[in-house]
């Protein structure tokens, strides 16, 4: 009888020790404020198997842009979840899964819209060509920038755009990308001069 009691106490003791440790080695969750402060813009020749950054001339039907929004992060909170020990010594937070709490990012001034204009380097005429560019949704469907902003709930900081309408694009062009934040702040960047074939 004593051996059974001692065995039960030992079993309880080992359960308590084993379950009180974090088996996932989770880092504490942090909360950051994301503040947008600039744009990095790249022009691509999309005609090959792999996109290449433009160094010479390019066909109008093989032109694309990558827009990367630059930002700074300010940590505003640090959260380490407490273990919830049940009456039998199990850490209920870790008993069934190893999911770690993700970091949280708060956009202080979210992106409201992207506008793209083209400058004819010969005449200096400026034309809004936002609707000339398309991107793809999560299902691989081609969508306009307007549709992207209507359907996208969680903002990311990068956009890959392909130009599929080019009748109003001059042979020598500079593209200007303007990101408008909800506050009205504008982040602006231009490509180098693009020479189309």
Find the angle CA(75)-CA(76)-CA(82) to the nearest 5 degrees.
100
Backbone angles phi and psi of 97, in degrees to 5 = -150, 170
pLDDT of residue 28: 84
pLDDT in tens, 11-48: 565 565 555 454 567 788 889 999 999 999 999 999 88
pLDDT in tens, 94-133: 444 567 888 888 888 988 889 999 999 999 999 999 999 9
The residue assigned the tokens 């359960």 is 15
Domains of the chain listed by start with CATH number:
36-77+102-196 (2.60.40)
pLDDT in tens, 63-96: 999 999 999 999 887 665 554 444 444 444 444 4
Average pLDDT value for residue range 184-195 = 96
Give the whole-angstrom CA distance, residue 41 versus residue 175: 10
Side-chain-side CA neighbours of residue 124 (13 Å): 0
């Amino acid at each position: 009888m004593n051996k059974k009691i001692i065995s039960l106490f030992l079993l309880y003791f080992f359960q308590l020790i084993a379950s009180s440790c974090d088996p996932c080695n989770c880092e504490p969750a942090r909360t950051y404020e994301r503040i947008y402060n600039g744009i990095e813009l790249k022009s691509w020749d999309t005609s090959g198997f792999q996109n290449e950054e433009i160094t010479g001339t390019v066909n109008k039907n093989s032109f694309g842009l990558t827009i990367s929004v630059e930002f700074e992060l300010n940590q505003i909170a640090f959260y380490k979840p407490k273990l919830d020990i049940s009456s039998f010594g199990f850490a209920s937070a870790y008993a069934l899964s190893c999911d770690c709490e993700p970091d949280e990012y708060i956009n202080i001034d979210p992106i409201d819209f992207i506008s793209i204009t083209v400058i004819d380097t010969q005449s200096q005429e400026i034309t809004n060509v936002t609707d000339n560019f398309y991107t793809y949704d999560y299902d691989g469907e081609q969508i306009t920038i307007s549709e992207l902003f209507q359907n996208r709930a969680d903002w990311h900081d990068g956009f890959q755009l392909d130009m599929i309408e080019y009748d109003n694009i001059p042979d020598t062009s500079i593209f200007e990308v303007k990101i408008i934040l909800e506050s009205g702040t504008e982040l602006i960047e231009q490509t180098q001069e693009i020479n189309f074939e």
